[in-house]
Amino acid sequence: MQALNIEEIYKNYFDRVYSYVLRRIMNVERAEDITAGVFMKVLKNLHTYNRNKAALGTWIFTIANNEIINWYRQKKPLSLVEKHDFLLKSDDVLQEVHEIQEALEAEDTWNKVIAVMNDKLDDEEKDLLIGVYFDDLTYRELAEIKKENASTLRSKVHRALKKIRKDVIFEEER
């Protein structure tokens, strides 16, 4: 059995974990702090990792998910500037937002989707959609992180998408 190297783990997982955290926290500095905390916990607890229980990535994303939950429990309300601060400081996120808007063919449609997500979806549904469509997590990975059945999560995502489609008419449907 090959020993786990924290430098390799950091190199292989940092960008994905940071992106995962940033999309949920929506604040660059706080996402950096949480991501650093995730890797400190990985380093501290690496000796407890059991590859027979979960894949390394699943274990790391579970730690990240728990750190996000802890942050939400302790957080204070953000100002409007803080909520959108990540857009001003993260070129990767700006590029991704731009690509998504182009793919939807109309900024108006994108704004409607966001409004419907905020109005009609609960936090769990939003989190699942972000995980599947933005973080490129498989349903299996998401199920391991969330400790739920993959089929159940697939159904939840399907229902969330139905809620969005109910209120938003996409260009290809016109």
Write down the pLDDT at residue 91: 59
Domain ranges, residue 146? 104-174
Among 31-35, 55-59, 102-106, where is mean pLDDT lowest? 102-106
Q: Which long-range contacts (CB under 8 A, 24 or more apart) does 164-173 make?
A: 164/113, 164/116, 164/117, 164/120, 164/121, 167/112, 167/116, 167/120, 168/109, 168/112, 168/113, 168/116, 170/104, 170/109, 171/104, 171/105, 171/106, 171/109
Instruction: Please indicate, yes or no, whether residues 11 and 71 belong to a single structural domain of this protein.
Output: yes
Per-residue pLDDT band at 174 (split at 50, 70, 90): very low
Q: Is it the case that residue 17 has pLDDT exceeding 90?
A: yes
pLDDT value of residue 109: 63
74 in the same domain as 24: yes
More confident residue, 78 or 31: 31
Instruction: Please report the pLDDT score of residue 135 as a whole number.
Output: 82
Which tokens in the block code for residue 16? 């994905």
pLDDT digits (tens, 9 = 90+) for 48-91: 999 898 899 999 999 999 998 888 878 655 544 455 555 555 55
Same domain, 79 and 112: no
Which of 89, 122, 145 is the last residue in one of the domains? 89
pLDDT surpasses 90 at 2: no
pLDDT reported for residue 35: 95
Does some domain include residue 113? yes
CA separation, residue 47 to residues 42, 43, 53, 147 (Å): 9, 8, 14, 22
Question: Among 89, 114, 133, where does a domain finish?
Answer: 89
Does 23 have pLDDT greater than 80?
yes
